[in-house]
Amino acid sequence: MKLYTFDAAPNPRRVNLFIAYKGIEIPTQQINLREGEQLGAAFRAINPRCIVPALQMDDGSVLCDGIAICWYLESLYPQRPLLGVGALQQAQVLSWDHLIFADAFVPAAEMLRNRSSAFKDRAVPGPGPVAQIPELEARGRQRLRLFWQYLDEQLKGREFVVGNTLTLADIDAFVVIDFAGWSKEQVPESCAHVHLWSARVKARLSGP
C-alpha cells in the first residue's frame, strides 16, 4: 500500500491522525495541493478524481475517500479501534462521521473555496473547473454555527462524541474546528462542552 496525501489539508489530516493513533506504518507521498500537483498527469494516472488522501493498493486499485480508507485500515489493523465496538456503536460512529462531513466539513470548505481568489474556478475539489458562488460563504458560516450548537448538546455529560472512548467521530470534529479557523470561524465560548472536549481529544491524540 501507499498513501498519497498532503499533510496541511483537512481531509488528509483526518486520515493521518487515524493512522498515527493506531500506530500503522504506511509509505506516503506528499502531493502539493498549493502547487496544483493533484491536477498533473502523473497523479491523475493514479487517481483521476484528483483528490487526496488516496490509498493505492498493491494491485493498483485506489481508495480516495477518508471514511473508506479508515474503514479499510480498521479491518486490517483492529488494535485501538476507532470505528466503534459492536454493531450499534459502529453505526453511531458512521452516522456522526457523515453528519460531521455534511454539516461541518462541507460548510467550512464552502466558506473558504467561495471567497478566496486562490480557488477561482476551483470551488469544488476534483478534476474539472467549478465557479465560485460568493453567497455560499455566508451560508457555510451559518451552518457551522448551527453545528457547534448541535455538537455541544451531544457532548453534555460525555467525554467523547460516541461511547466512552476516542473514535473517528472525535478526530473528524476536532479537525474541522481547525479547518473552520482558516476562515476565521471559531467555536463560540458559549459552547463550553466543545471546548473541554477539544482539549481532551488533543491530549489523547498527542499521548502514547
**Phi and psi, residue 21, nearest 5°:** -60, -40
DSSP line for the chain: -EEEE-TTSHHHHHHHHHHHHHT----EEE--TTTTGGGSHHHHHH-TT--S-EEE-TTS-EE-SHHHHHHHHHHH--SS-SS-SSHHHHHHHHHHHHHHIIIIIHHHHHHHHTT-GGGTTBSS-SSS-B---THHHHHHHHHHHHHHHHHHHHTTT-SSSSTTS--HHHHHHHHHHHHHHTTT----TT-HHHHHHHHHHHHHHH--
Cα within 13 Å of Cα(32), Cβ side: 4
- The string of pLDDT tens digits covering residues 167-208 is 999 999 999 999 999 999 999 999 999 999 999 999 999 876
pLDDT digit string, tens, across residues 136-155? 999 999 999 999 999 999 99
The cell for 140 is: 457555510
Tell which residue, 156, 151, 24, has the closest CA to residue 15: 24
**Does 87-206 match 2-76 at the fold level?**
no
Residue with cell 498515527: 20
Q: Is the pTM of this model over 0.75?
A: yes
Residue 33: pLDDT above 70?
A: yes
- Domain extents for the chain? 2-76, 87-206
| Topology annotation, domain 2-76 | Glutaredoxin (3.40.30)
Computed over every residue of the chain, the mean pLDDT equals 96
Q: Look at residue 208 in the predicted model and tell me its pLDDT.
A: 64
pLDDT at 124 over 70: yes
Q: What is the structure's pLDDT at 70? A: 98
Q: Are 42 and 66 in contact (CB under 8 A)?
A: no
One CATH from 1.10.150.120, 3.40.50.1110, 3.30.565.10, 1.20.1050.10 for 87-206:
1.20.1050.10
